[in-house]
Amino acid sequence: MKFILPIAKRYLIGKKSTNAIHILSGISLLAMMIGTMALILVLSVYNGFENLVLSLYDSFRADLVVEVDKGKTFEPNGAFLTKLDDFDEIEAYSLVLEENAIFDFDGKQYFARLKGIDENYTKVNAVDTCLVDGYFRIKKGSNIAVLGLGVAKALSLSLFDDFGELRVFMPKKNVKLNTTNPSKMVNIKSIWPMGFYSIEKEFDSKYVFVDLMFAQELIESGNEISAIEVALTEGVDLVEFQQELKQILAPNLKITNRFQIDNTLYKVMKSEKLVAYLILSFILLIAAFNIIGSLSMLVIEKRKDISILKAMGATNKQINRLFLTTGLLLSFTGAILGSIIAIVIGLLQQYFEIIKLNQSGMFLIDAFPVEFRLNDFIIIGITVIVIGCLASYFPARRAAATPMVFKD
């Protein structure tokens, strides 16, 4: 068994009698190198985009959200809030109230989501770090609003416009239809824009933040809220604590984590990455057919060596392993070289942003993001082993079946 690896190395890098074998071996090595490099770089770019998207969503999503199981609103129980205060795992929590509303500014109307928040909201979410203009200073009892940049653009709203009035329209509760005087069917309140935020189009064109009391008065909800958003301290297991918190919830309440809220987004990103991996692995598999040709020619050239090894006592199984090892060494050499090149290119992209997305400024970032992950390298390594074994199997089997011949 000790002779297998030294001979396999010699067969891989040693001199061959036929120049075509050298050329085919070089092509095989190059194919595995380029395939591995492409796999690592593409998956790393997907990782970069995934982190970018999740960081944007994390700016808006709380770790956990407690809301009513059926209906829209509920009145927070004082005893439950006290229990939340007692948890060391909870960094902060915020009471929020959401409802659809119509916004009017200087004759322009826009349908958006009014979100009433308390003073703890910036401890739970990081929306205040995403401001592009103005300030995030929503205080209790104030008529201040912070709008998404998409909402502001739709209303042609400016922070420096002292003459226009931003009004919010909300249907009154338990009011009969009045066609003669429709204004009696809605509550109307004025708010003053204090800042614009920009996270992602889905949020920028949808949400307007106001004070919780302002929203409760406008919606006529009394002390009711639509949700309690919870931020956990660093290092706390999200799913484990979610299960623990479920134990103290009232029967009419449910709790979801940020991954469950954006479950479709996470599934789409993972599916896209999986599809990219499968396509590139298939290309790598096709490229590995060069290994079959290279080893097949090597078996023909080394028939005399095979006969000598068999005469010295080598079994068919050992001959099989010899050529299988040669194919794996060829695959691994290409994979290692491809990995090194991919890491170098990735680091250059990370630090110098060589490949730009575009020059129009439409994206949040200027260049393709790259992030290396250990599990990607492990998966790619396993893929190379499997492909190398598949490509080497038939030539190795043919070598083992080669009869003992001592004359050319």
What integer pLDDT is reported at residue 287 of this predicted model? 84
Q: Provide the 10 A C-beta neighbour count for residue 209.
A: 25
- Identity of the residue numbered 188: I
3-state SS, residue 107: coil
- Identity of the residue numbered 161: D
Nearest by Cα to 36 from 335, 403, 376: 335
Model pTM above 0.85? no
What integer pLDDT is reported at residue 113 of this predicted model? 97
Would you say 212 and 97 are in contact if contact means Cβ atoms under 8 Å apart? Answer: yes
C-alpha–C-alpha distance, residues 349 and 16, integer Å:
40
Provide the H-helix boundaries in 59-204: 78-86, 121-124, 149-154, 201-204
What does DSSP assign to residue 365? S
Would you say 381 and 331 are in contact if contact means Cβ atoms under 8 Å apart? Answer: no
Q: Could you tell me the residue ranges of all domains in the chain? A: 4-57+265-400, 64-260
3-state SS, residue 17: coil
Structure tokens at 248: 């103290």
Q: Provide the 10 A C-beta neighbour count for residue 318.
A: 15
* pLDDT tens, per residue, the chain with 408 residues: 567 888 888 877 776 556 777 788 888 899 999 999 999 999 999 999 999 888 888 889 999 999 999 889 999 999 999 999 999 999 999 999 999 999 999 889 999 999 999 999 999 999 999 999 999 989 998 999 999 999 999 999 988 776 667 999 999 887 776 666 666 789 999 999 999 999 988 899 999 999 999 999 999 999 999 999 999 999 999 999 999 999 999 999 999 999 999 888 889 999 999 999 999 999 999 888 888 988 988 888 888 888 888 888 889 999 999 999 999 999 999 999 999 999 999 999 999 999 988 655 556 678 899 999 999 999 999 999 999 999 999 999 999 888 876 555
Nearest by Cα to 102 from 27, 58, 161, 155: 155
